[in-house]
Chains A and B, each alone.
Chain A
């Protein structure tokens, strides 16, 4: 048994009669290197670990955490969680997960190659990323940040109800943020490359992407207000799908905060949209074998050809719903109890490339970036308004760059107005897949 599993199992075994305990133990080793001006600007190398303990007793739940795995801290954390439970309200559905007999997928997310990759080589990657971004286009004046980041993450969940699970994964990425200049004007663009091992990282692609996104915005102006068709870049689509996933949880439905409550089997989106949460898809960067409560992840159909199929559940919302967990417990680290949410949303791709989709649009906007998703999108009311920049589409081709506009609709309408899904599925470090999405009848506010 691994050291973390041993700790989690031991804490869970301290449960008294009539008490349920869940212990989540995590350890991360991370390296972050930032290059600037051909040198290392900063190099962070660190290991951190911690434990979060959930106690349910008499239908009341308490939680406590500690940012250490010291023996003394384990018992203190449990004592604190027990004490906290005394002050919580009674809820008959409270409880930790129970083994449900579903076997976890046997996917390997831990790549030894990363663990043995030398620091000097990581530094070289970061410096090369900056150099390549600068070299990609003469208009790139500087690179605000060029970084290499990796992590080795291990965790264990054990409960007094018999769950004992462990998982470990590696991940790394390169990210470049380029500044393009032309006279007094500056435009920005980012490029990214992700993998489970450094071998998978592509400096050329990340640097070229950053340079392309920054330079194609040079000369951007603010256009007049219009209603038009928008083509969402894969990164933008991933953000949008993430918000949609948020509205499709059992918790949002049960607490009266979901747009989709009571709409099972109804047409909630265009027929071109089929949305599944599938953390067992090995291609997904956020794929995992186990959810935040230690249950096996599994595919959950959410929307099929536009029709609402179901919701995501953790053990609490599953019990309250009279069904069961869909293996969709999510954790934000050891400092909080598990919630419920999408792990790896994916869509059924369409059959056209982004270029083919754009060729069919007479008057539109290719949105390469959005801002203010947290301030202008309300997943409860459905109001959707974000800052945007990108390229106008005229007569089937991308045309002049535009900036300082917003695009607005409502989530309800956006889903129905999806005109096409691209064939260009991209794996991004987000809980949703990236893909080009065409949405008609969106308001672009400008001058």
Chain B
């Protein structure tokens, strides 16, 4: 992406005023998206965004500057700005020479999206639209979205690291509106993988559209959700959102270091029911949160965070790891070259238990079954978190019965983790997500088997 001599020169400029650590992060991102709405392919968008973010660390202070000017002068001037931002005193030139680059490659890509005709991409949208509308006359609106992105990155730092990566992601989603006597309801289905256009060999968009439509149609007959505390069974796949919020964020070392997490100082303690094993794994080839190296040039890793209920470790980026004298866990990520990296999740999941999903439901006298979760949010300092249910049903006498309307569930992370009393043997990954933290969004995956929480608060309106 950038000549190595120029990188050397840029790092030297960054270190000239006493920097202890300097880093160049270059990114070249090309993306395409297409939207069909209201029966018409509204628009195709394509774009290119590239630039460099330069970080200089002096003591406890990080200086950061970014630029879209990739000329040698542009880079040196950004490096100087970052160094000035870090308020370097003293002087002393340090020679920086990066090692020969390692070219990492996130998941093998068979079909580069850039080599697929735009007409083919648009064709998928039409298939989804027709399939959704054919699912029932009550389907009154359909939106289908296609997106792909190719993100080339290069990370070089004053410790001699130089790594390149190429991440390719492809995404498709369908949203439907169904209209009936009770008003309108929506249904959504999405798939996203860190692979190329071969995504559509495994994902059938017509089938996705039918599932989205069915979800909206089912909810036309939904009852108001109950309100109050009750057992909650979360279906396989999407339940990962629950852990992402209940404890995932709270295990990010930057929040832990600021005592802004209820899990601070609890490594080695039993924090969850026995049988709960939580893993964050950026190496899961093809998954939405996968990459070969993170945005600080560290290799992604399989990190066990909770083993059989015991907290084993947090997730780390370079800055926090260095303060603790340990290695990064490969969780340093950023939205783009315009952002500083911080600790982020990748693919976060709960491993399989041994219960049959049907038995878990049958053993639940009454409660709520959440088949599809929406997003969520957490306050890591208090542990209180919410997640939305976009497809859910009542459980009555051990059976799944009526669909219920949308709403949030609320719980407290440390409490909910110890109230998991059944874990199924049907693990699967859920839908692709975008995780937001401090205004930065990054792609994340999650997954779970079916599981039950003995008590959680369902935020409906029914008595």
Using a CB–CB cutoff of 8 Å, the interface residues on chain A facing chain B are: 36-37, 39-50, 61-68, 73, 80, 83-91, 141-142, 144, 179, 186-188, 222, 225, 254-257, 259, 335-337, 371-372, 374-376, 378, 380-383, 385-387, 389, 403-410, 443, 445-447
Q: B34-48 interface mask toward A, CB cutoff 8 Å, 1 = contact, 0 = none? A: 101111111111111
> A41-B62, A380-B185 given. 12 additional CB < 8 A pairs?
A39-B60, A63-B43, A66-B48, A141-B259, A179-B258, A256-B140, A257-B177, A371-B378, A375-B377, A376-B459, A403-B382, A445-B458
User: Are B386 and A408 in contact, with the CB atoms below 8 A?
Assistant: no
Chain B contact residues: helix, strand, loop or mixed: strand
3 A-B pairs closest in CB distance: A406-B459, A375-B388, A376-B408
Closest chain A residue to B220 by CB distance?
Answer: A381
Knowing A84-B46, A386-B386, say if A89 contacts B410 (CB, 8 Å).
Answer: no
Using a CB–CB cutoff of 8 Å, the interface residues on chain B facing chain A are: 34, 36-51, 59-68, 81, 85-87, 118-119, 122, 140-141, 177, 179, 183-186, 219, 225, 227-229, 255, 258-260, 262, 338, 340, 374-379, 381-382, 384-388, 405-412, 457-461
- Of B60, B68, B387, B412, which is within 8 A of A372 by CB? B387
Please indicate the chain A residues that have their CB under 8 angstroms from the CB of B60 in the complex.
Answer: 36-37, 39-41
Please indicate the chain B residues that have their CB under 8 angstroms from the CB of A64 in the complex.
Answer: 45-47
14 contacts between A and B (CB under 8 A): A43-B87, A44-B66, A45-B64, A48-B338, A62-B44, A65-B45, A84-B45, A188-B381, A254-B38, A374-B374, A374-B388, A378-B186, A387-B459, A447-B228
Count A-B pairs with CB separation below 8 Å: 264
Min CB–CB distance A239 → chain B (angstroms): 12
Bound together, the chains give a CA A411 to CA B51 distance in angstroms of: 43
- Of B43, B81, B375, which is within 8 A of A62 by CB? B43
Bound together, the chains give a CA A86 to CA B59 distance in angstroms of: 54
Knowing A335-B47, A385-B408, say if A445 contacts B67 (CB, 8 Å).
Answer: no
User: Are A374 and B375 in contact, with the CB atoms below 8 A?
Assistant: yes
User: Are B386 and A445 in contact, with the CB atoms below 8 A?
Assistant: no
Knowing A43-B86, A84-B43, say if A446 contacts B457 (CB, 8 Å).
Answer: yes
- Of A42, A222, A408, which is within 8 A of B64 by CB? A42
Please indicate the chain B residues that have their CB under 8 angstroms from the CB of A87 in the complex.
Answer: 34, 41, 44, 118-119, 122
Please indicate the chain B residues that have their CB under 8 angstroms from the CB of A42 in the complex.
Answer: 61-64, 340
User: Are B260 and A404 in contact, with the CB atoms below 8 A?
Assistant: no
Please indicate the chain A residues that have their CB under 8 angstroms from the CB of B186 in the complex.
Answer: 378, 380-381
Knowing A65-B45, A381-B406, A447-B457, say if A186 contacts B374 (CB, 8 Å).
Answer: no
User: Are A409 and B461 in contact, with the CB atoms below 8 A?
Assistant: yes
Bound together, the chains give a CA A45 to CA B62 distance in angstroms of: 11
- Of B37, B49, B227, B411, which is within 8 A of A66 by CB? B49
User: Are B258 and A142 in contact, with the CB atoms below 8 A?
Assistant: yes
Bound together, the chains give a CA A272 to CA B34 distance in angstroms of: 42
User: Are A445 and B388 in contact, with the CB atoms below 8 A?
Assistant: no
Please indicate the chain A residues that have their CB under 8 angstroms from the CB of B338 in the complex.
Answer: 46, 48
User: Are A144 and B460 in contact, with the CB atoms below 8 A?
Assistant: no
